[in-house]
Copies of this chain bind each other. A is one copy, B any other.
Amino acid sequence: MTTPIVHLSRRYTFPASHRLYTDRLSWAENEAIFGKCANPNGHGHNYRLTVTVAGPVDPRTGFVMSLDQLDDAVRRHVLDVYDHRYLNVDVEDYFDVVPTGENIAKRIWERLEAPLTGRLRRIVLDETRNNQFEYTGPSHPT
């Protein structure tokens, strides 16, 4: 008999700014690839982060995971570092990597995987109301 698994998704938001630009390319190439997103002083978003964890339901509490514990992990490992920051300049994750939605989703996964001890299943990052990025970890290439 398998234990039923429930997925819990919890949503966080953090305003931050970023710039899509890389020193590995010429200015003309940056502009061709990134357009307005390469503007020198950056721009920003209200990033919406949805973290999904999964597990069996604790028969005593009815929880897959305590929300306090989840919030605490996200706050300490992501929000305290990313919230109200200029990602390219303030966050070392993006010193060598362009902070595209794709890369931010991956980096957030990497930051949360260990603290969430095997329960992390999915990171969804909404950059705008039209663009969404989803990462389910290195072992789920789908």
Range class of the A interface residue count: 35 or more
> By the criterion CB–CB under 8 Å, are B6 and A128 in contact?
no
Residues of chain A touching chain B, judged by Cβ–Cβ distance below 8 Å, are 2-13, 15-18, 20, 22, 24-25, 33-34, 36-37, 39, 41-46, 50, 52, 54, 57, 60-64, 66-67, 83-86, 89-90, 97-103, 105-106, 121, 128-142
Q: Is the CB of A138 within 8 A of B8?
A: no
Knowing A57-B106, A100-B61, the reply to whether A89 touches B41 (Cβ < 8 A) is yes
Complexed CA–CA distance, A135 and B12 (Å): 21
Contact A20/B101 with A41-B86, A86-B42, A133-B6 known, Cβ cut-off 8 Å: no
